[in-house]
Amino acid sequence: MGFRDFVGHALLDNDKLHFDNAPDTTPRITQEEAWLVTLSAPLSAFNGDHVDAVATGKDDEGLREGIEQVWGVGDRASFEEKARWLVEEGQRDTYASAWRAIAAVDDAVQTTHPLVRMLVEGTFPAFFQIKARKSLDYKALSAQSGLSFTDVSQVVTQSRSWVDELRKHFKVAPAQITSLVAWDAVRLVSLSRWAVQLGFIDRAEFAGFAGGLKQQVQQAYADWPQVSAAYIAGGLIWRYSDEREEHLLRTNRMLLKDARSPYRTTAFR
């Protein structure tokens, strides 16, 4: 997966945020649609899609092929089935135990005296996992998450770097993220946008489908940076690689820094 993951990420056009430069040619975006499009921004930025419009800016043929391969969605019926799954189930609860294990390792780091931390980081990095061992039953975590033993072990072991990034750049500590509903909600809105563009649903139906997890998102998080942090966590638990970590962190940082970002122009509440 490593080399294929590297090639796939190298092909993404996500060095900057992409915006709709022809707003007069499409229906005006409503306030409700703008909020939902902003919710989808962590995935839009990652994919190189528009972050400020229902339309993605991608060509229909490539979009159709992509969601068919990744999501198994090729018509209205399959879209509705997948959207219903995201609202009712998704992966937020499945990945919760892995996220708690990651948070436990972070807690082990943060509660270690700074001098001891400096000493063991360079000589005995497994110290923190040993300290958090009560939360690191990898066999149980594998069964609960649906990930292989190797994959769940890897994502927990490698979590130090990206959890530190969430704290530094997003001002989010693991304890603040008690739900991974953003992982499902961001994908639900994105899938709904794709369904509109490909004609599986009408534009008038977009908010109804895309907003299926809006209330849960606003209850779970305080702001857009927490949405990004939870989405990044879910995305790296789902499929970890160094390349995926780099792209997720970088593209979500752009959402925080770019003056035109919907994170700057759309209120979370």
Q: pLDDT digit string (tens) for 78-124?
A: 999 999 999 999 999 999 999 999 999 998 888 888 888 888 877 77
CB count within 10 Å of CB 57 equals 20
The set of residues, in sequence order, having a beta carbon less than 8 Å from that of 219 and lying 6+ positions away, is none
Residue 142 structure tokens: 């594998």
CA distance 10 to 38: 25
Q: By the 8 A CB rule, do 256 and 263 touch?
A: yes
Residue 103 structure tokens: 């948070």
Tens digit of each residue's pLDDT (9 = 90 or more) over 210-245 = 999 999 999 999 999 999 999 999 999 999 999 999
Residue 101 structure tokens: 């294990």
Cα dihedral 77→81→83→87 (10° resolution): 150
Q: By the 8 A CB rule, do 216 and 178 touch?
A: no
Q: Averaged over 167-182, what is the pLDDT?
A: 96
126: confidence class by pLDDT, cuts 50, 70, 90? confident
Q: Which residues pair with 50 in a beta bridge?
A: 18
Residue 155 structure tokens: 């994502």
> pLDDT exceeding 70 applies to what percent of the chain?
94
Residue 268 structure tokens: 């979370």
The set of residues, in sequence order, having a beta carbon less than 8 Å from that of 51 and lying 6+ positions away, is 17, 18, 19, 37, 38, 41, 44, 45, 255, 261, 262
